[in-house]
Amino acid sequence: MADDGSQPGTARARDAVDGVALPLWAGGPPGGAGEAAAPRPELIPCFAPRRDPAPRPAVVVCPGGGYAGLAPHEGLPVARWLCGLGVDAFVLRYRVAPHRHPAPLQDAQRALRTVRHRAGEWGVDPGRVGILGFSAGGHLAATAGTHGDPGNAAAADPVERQSSRPDLMVLCYAVLTFGPFGHEGSLRNLLGPDAPPALRASLSLETRVREDTPAAFLWHTADDQGVPVENSLLFAMALRRAGVPFALHVFEHGRHGLGLAEEDPDVGAWTVRCAAWLAAHGFGSGGGA
């Protein structure tokens, strides 16, 4: 990526890892990745062009895939869109089935901590680190937002001293409840076929919203046949009750899994609305870099 050259050390550090898949865990993740893990937990940085040396906001991107895989069109293309807004993006390749909870959450939290830990090296503002997810990746993003922690100041690993709470969330046709409108495939892959009711309830995220939950942008389509729109409606209602700022956009028609929705002029407007919302929260210009 281009740089203004005023911070050559930072520029070199960014250039060295831009587009390179970086392992999240030195020595492997908690519990081990195992031979069946696909993919292994990694973070792929995508840095926005620099016109000034000021630290940039950053967003961790979580592709969907029902906790069984990761959809390519919800990863790097979305990161490039964010870079066009002046936001650094980090695509997360998190553990999926046969790995179960808490493995994906551990990876998402590690990603947020890593971006903050390396903020000075990469030219990122550690106080503006958000998370974005699609479908099951939206569930993961919202889980990070509702299960965040301030970090462990006494941890031997300096990465673990960083906060895992995102500063905002973007939730795209997200799986957000494991109640009557839940997505059974995601539930089964994440928790197994016989999940205890208490565990299922703890990851039905409309029940986890508190007043300190990060602000959220949500969008869905009313006739989504994969993940019912009630997922976003229930979560938005919980945000409203808790007094958490949010924006909710429901489009009349559109299938599940549209990603950037470039082929659908109506639903594709979500990117314009989201860009404006991000800018209002100090993330990017609302248009271009």
Mean pLDDT, residues 100-126:
97
List domains and CATH numbers for the chain: 35-151+159-280 (3.40.50.1820)
Distance, CA of 125 to CA of 93 (rounded, Å): 22
Average pLDDT score, the chain: 93
Asked, as a colleague might, if the bond just before 30 is cis with ω within 30 of 0, I would say no
pTM: 0.94
Mean pLDDT, residues 162-188:
94
Render pLDDT for 238-264 as a digit per residue (tens, 0 to 9). Answer: 999 999 999 999 999 999 999 999 999
Distance, CA of 268 to CA of 265 (rounded, Å): 5
**Residue 71 to residues 2, 103, 161, 212: CA-CA distances in angstroms?**
28, 18, 31, 30
- What the block records as the tokens of 149 is 């922690």
pLDDT at 32 over 80: no
Helix axes 136-146, 103-117, angle to 10 degrees: 70
Distance, CA of 103 to CA of 112 (rounded, Å): 15
**Residue 247 to residues 93, 258, 276, 278: CA-CA distances in angstroms?**
27, 19, 11, 11
Q: If residue 168 lies in a helix (H) or strand (E), which one and from where to where?
A: strand 168-172
Render pLDDT for 82-96 as a digit per residue (tens, 0 to 9). Answer: 999 999 999 999 999
